[in-house]
Structure 1
């Protein structure tokens, strides 16, 4: 029966897969009844219908794991709530391996599971055999069992979510295609369909594979690309238990799932096959792609060794269906920075079924409350750069991204595809200097430098990798002499206008109404007191400011700035990232080096810490800002792109007389850890306040006019804290910390490592952790008097706590 389209709806959801139906379900669960979901064909017809239906819960971060846990809990009760069968079974899942490096990864995963509240057990080959008698285990050396994982029927799950949404008032209409997105004044106003127009206050793009195309219609960047995804289903297999756990054998790129007595064997092969380069056909519905046995054969050969019973099992189905993948294998969620009230939930990288419940819940909260309910930076659409909508880039990255799901998750692992997108003008010079480049937000950045005779290439391991000693030398040069960092990837914004000071002082927690040429370190807070951004603001003139932030948060921070400028304010924000290169000249010899190159006075009296001035350098005029992220005397030089090569050449030539050494981002990280400088996105997020993270010194509670988040901070201060950010130093100099390792205080788990690096000056691994203080005693005496241990791959190591930087705590070197 054809439904009549409403002329108006508060919320329109585009796409009737499991994600769209989950969003509708959770919106109505919050009491929102004015919801229309439009599906161009039938529910589940795109990707959902052919999903494998694996329900795993472990993710790379705590919040993502909590969302996956919620999904499993939701599915467990969905049939009882709606009357629609879901096929959900809590069979458990297990990872198996014959590889010693993979076993280390699995052990670290087990430690992370402890942090995230997921039951897990390291298991031996004999225990693997007990759980899955059909597996060949002779070569296995161990595995990990997660008993609360499971499986479900994707179509039934979706229909149950749709039924729950309908029962609370949602209008789900099939057979209606969206042909355009309506917008006015930077805000979405509705959709145009092949059957008419619907005006709406909010539009949500849950278009799956079509999400990229829908985004382009709205002028919104939705970077995802379809790839062919393969699995086979056998005839009924003797000896295959109905309650058999899902098996993941990542070294063989394969997963195994019992399915009504049959075996489903799927894969995430290292080199994938992108699909739909010219766009996804609108009529593609319950379709599959042509078989490609040649492509699947290497996976099948490995599977035959792991599961010999496959040799005699008949193959009932060879399936090839497309699924969408994002450039970093994390899905896209949230309000688009380009268009107000246009939300996205797409690009689920083959984990849509196991992510749908949690993603639908938090997006519903975001839509109705106007802000995310938790730190969702891992999947926030604002992490994506504008260039990433480029179709060739997406195609080339997808070749690799599918396989990364089962690749080794090495520390410091760098993507290999679609590289070289954004380069500093100095790229060739840095390459000649031995740079080994990593990638961040498309930027090619020197992570470390290979000495003469050493290949600038990563050799990955969980131990000290091949660059460790070379980065240590860079670290030492910065501490003892002077280092050169290419920091061009910084995002740089300018705010100008007669109301610029008033506007920016409302956004900043610190006071930026300072003298011209002063640099202010500050946070931008949300209304809950959480840290939205961590950056510096330099006053260039009475009505002109320079804002510098991380390259990863360029889109997010610029969007936050623009959206917090009142409509009647005379203040204009401009993204100047591509206009300036940045060189960091850091170390005790930095003053002598720069002073030998400029007639301007670089002395401490004329150029104290926290000041900025335009100086002559080479043939250029350069903005020198005396600020540091490494804890040494130093300057950041902001240079117009066309002048940077000359400035660099002059510095490098003169630097020979001052012990100058090129230094990369691994050294930057080890240096900042020793100085206890926080890293936004890890140590500080939109869930963490400056009071909890030890950044209260950068907050001016009593500045005229207040600031966003002030009331929340005052309330927190009055109530008292229940946790604090602590810097921990391993007492043993050998183990390496990375992140998410459990932290124990007097034998009780109280937190986990948020970021870590080896401190070469201190000769030990360092890590930040928020330490819970349930008794409310957050005094230094209480925190520092306890015994701390950090668990690494199942083994605990003692650690010493500090609330102060372990290097130069009084800032004597920085301010000298």
Structure 2
């Protein structure tokens, strides 16, 4: 090896599959001067002992595409590098042992079809033909994905490493990173036990040690090491070489073929974290190519399930048991992206035991993110900016991660809420609302009312794939919003202040809509990336010449603050301040909202004096209130932003004044059904970095006709000059027996053209509503094209006729505007 370098363009920390893949793809992008530093030997952390199953389907289209790319890469990598990878495209089976699980896998198959994957629903007998050594006495069906497969994890990583070397990457093993060099808020180098390397970019692919590497840079990487066990049997009779991988989630186990025998592991409901040095200790630095002590007592329940599924295991010899720690995250998704705390410091870690399946695609996406300076596609499910302050707490992360691990093979119920580590952040109204039957959901640490159980109704969710127990109660809240008035605690909104003499100039560049309005104006706007995709979707209220108040969704607090602050042009006097914890928010919505507000304030709140899209300071019960006349439910209403210490007083005053008008509490599930009827878009589903405002039918909120430069303008101008590749539309399915959840496949004139981004029920219209893009990347899509088609939606592998609209389905002036 040549002399140890003092300079590099990019330093990748960690020589597991993700580090090797990221360096390989950076080199393919022409990044000269990329190096990998590995504390021990390549693959010595968790890569070498991974089970090696490669499944592709996820609930996100883009994450599924990443895994599809892994398969494409593994298909050709051995030919490129000359190193065997052990890749076999032998397909993957998933069993269902009850009717609810069968519904789940049918919905998964529809999701697969939406995302361009083959997935077949099989009978138990058809599944047994593919997997002859299993007992099928309790199997009611199965799903088969023929392009899934398996791989030798260490071999695939070594092959990626060789490919990286062939393209100029230098690899330094036995090199420990002891520090990160930081200057002016940027990572500019790494300190190792062999010397300091200055670089443009640092990429943390440290696996289980990624959290501790992050701490060297003041960056939170929320993951936990969990013990994961599997066995390898001696060769068994009847096990063919082309045996598909098998997942049996009802029994919590998985299988793959290996040298004529089986590998079997699973995801128990009582996982054991790896805490080698106690609660506060660090993971050992010398843990390389090592395993943990076998725990047969803990593994026994999985072994019993496996022997019931494969009776031949009772006579099979056990060649080896593997107990290897792997990194898991609080939500079961991996972590990619640039750290919000530190520029030029990227993370690729926390792969939840599917790092081998993700390796090719995640490495490519991270490399492209590094090279371009922004994500190459919508990667929100794995974006590190999905985390918040609660995720900095190691103990909280441990608690929630163990719950997520235990859910790995549980039913993926619609609307399911994890329960551990709650509550963390609560509104001052939490106790009041709980006493009134509030059933809370969780979002980025906040407790938020999802729905309210009337007296005599158990205030908890009961999950199913049909109409859940809250359906009628949410319908009552929806009806109250449409016909009377509701009060919704939306205190969890993320709230920022942009201040400084150049605040207008900064926001004019970042925001796609015109923010050069007079004080008291509310501007609904998106913020775009260089491709014209929507990075943020929020409201901006001008308070003064040098101050704006920004309100965005609860879950996007870290992301949006990071995006806005990182894009303030250099040299401007503009500062972004997070004021979320300073203000509570009450949304007063419904045709009687003005009547209620009139009872509690002396301010003139008539339509003339207080028009839509404006803000006024009013007094309620002795408390100053910033009242924003906006709506996300399609009715007359105000968001009332109140100091936290005055929130309860204002709530009580409004509830008392609302009694004659039939006021009711409402929650977030009612908001969802109300916004669907109005065809209001939701960021991270209907709109995202992959969607432009033009494609989303929101060109009216973009200042393209004004001579004001803004980020993403050039891309939008190019898009506007031609037929768009996709258009967002609203769909209804009147069949009351079905439930829309999102990811259902859209067919136009018999041809697949997209999938639903979101779905639910419109109680006023009494119909199922979905929102999704009609796509035609080759020839483009016009509004006339969309409206001229005949539509069907595939739901759980069955097609249902659907109607389409490009306009809101509900208008309060004309209550039923059906498609």
Task: Say if 2:146 is the partner of 1:157.
Answer: no
Q: 1-side partners of 2:779 and 2:589: how far apart?
A: 40
Q: 2-side partners of 1:446 and 1:376: how far apart?
A: 28
Question: Does the residue aligned with 1:430 lie in a helix, a strand or coil?
Answer: helix
Equivalent position of 1:187 in the other structure: 186
Contact 2:333 2:350 in 1 (8 A): yes
Task: Say if 2:589 is the partner of 1:589.
Answer: no
Q: Label 1:77 to 1:774 Cα distance change in 2 as closer, same or farther (>3 A).
A: closer
Question: Does the residue aligned with 1:424 lie in a helix, a strand or coil?
Answer: coil
The alpha-carbon deviation at position 495 of structure 1 amounts to 0.5
Aligned residue among 640, 644, 668 for 1:641: 644
Contact 2:634 2:812 in 1 (8 A): no
The alpha-carbon deviation at position 230 of structure 1 amounts to 1.1
Q: 1-side partners of 2:401 and 2:503: how far apart?
A: 42
Contact 2:331 2:401 in 1 (8 A): no
Equivalent position of 2:117 in the other structure: 118
Q: 2-side partners of 1:165 and 1:399: how far apart?
A: 35
User: Does 418-427 or 249-258 show the bigger shift?
Assistant: 418-427
Equivalent position of 2:16 in the other structure: 17
Q: Label 1:201 to 1:376 Cα distance change in 2 as closer, same or farther (>3 A).
A: same
Equivalent position of 1:614 in the other structure: 617
Deviations 1:343-377 (A, max 9, x none): 10000010000001001111111111222211111
Equivalent position of 1:724 in the other structure: 727
Question: Does the residue aligned with 1:148 lie in a helix, a strand or coil?
Answer: coil
Equivalent position of 1:204 in the other structure: 203
Q: Please give the residue correspondences for 1:86-235 in structure 2 after superposition, counting only pairs within 5 Å.
A: 86-235=85-234
TM-score by structure 1 length?
A: 0.98
Contact 1:272 1:398 in 2 (8 A): no
Equivalent position of 1:252 in the other structure: 251
Q: 1-side partners of 2:350 and 2:717: how far apart?
A: 39
Aligned residue among 675, 698, 706 for 2:701: 698
Deviations 1:95-151 (A, max 9, x none): 012111000000011111111111111111111111111100011110001111110
Aligned residue among 497, 501, 505 for 1:498: 501
Aligned residue among 387, 392, 411 for 2:390: 387
Deviations 1:541-576 (A, max 9, x none): 111100111111111111111111122101111011
Contact 2:244 2:256 in 1 (8 A): yes
Equivalent position of 1:455 in the other structure: 458
Deviations 1:146-189 (A, max 9, x none): 11111010000010000111111111011011011110101111
Q: 2-side partners of 1:200 and 1:787: how far apart?
A: 56
Deviations 1:438-479 (A, max 9, x none): 111111111111110111111111100000000000000000
Equivalent position of 2:78 in the other structure: 79
Q: Label 1:217 to 1:810 Cα distance change in 2 as closer, same or farther (>3 A).
A: farther
Aligned residue among 436, 444, 448 for 1:445: 448
The alpha-carbon deviation at position 3 of structure 1 amounts to 5.6
Deviations 1:404-451 (A, max 9, x none): 221111100111212212111111111111011111111111111111
Q: 2-side partners of 1:775 and 1:147: how far apart?
A: 27
Equivalent position of 1:664 in the other structure: 667
Question: Does the residue aligned with 1:227 lie in a helix, a strand or coil?
Answer: strand
Q: Please give the residue correspondences for 1:262-301 in structure 2 after superposition, counting only pairs within 5 Å.
A: 262-276=261-275, 277=279, 278-301=281-304
Contact 2:510 2:567 in 1 (8 A): yes
Contact 2:390 2:444 in 1 (8 A): no
Tell me how large the CA RMSD over aligned residues is: 1.4
Question: Does the residue aligned with 2:368 lie in a helix, a strand or coil?
Answer: helix
Aligned residue among 679, 683, 687 for 2:686: 683
Question: Does the residue aligned with 2:102 lie in a helix, a strand or coil?
Answer: helix
Gaps (5+ residues) in structure 1?
none
Q: 2-side partners of 1:88 and 1:471: how far apart?
A: 49
Q: 1-side partners of 2:67 and 2:163: how far apart?
A: 20
Contact 1:274 1:398 in 2 (8 A): no
Aligned residue among 298, 306, 309 for 2:309: 306
Equivalent position of 1:422 in the other structure: 425
Equivalent position of 2:551 in the other structure: 548
Equivalent position of 1:509 in the other structure: 512
Contact 2:677 2:808 in 1 (8 A): yes
Question: Does the residue aligned with 1:9 lie in a helix, a strand or coil?
Answer: coil
The alpha-carbon deviation at position 642 of structure 1 amounts to 1.2
Q: 2-side partners of 1:355 and 1:640: how far apart?
A: 45
Q: 2-side partners of 1:670 and 1:746: how far apart?
A: 28
How many aligned residue pairs are there? Answer: 812
Q: 1-side partners of 2:408 and 2:753: how far apart?
A: 30
Deviations 1:712-751 (A, max 9, x none): 1111111221321000011323311001100001111111
Gaps (5+ residues) in structure 2?
none
Q: 2-side partners of 1:782 and 1:772: how far apart?
A: 11
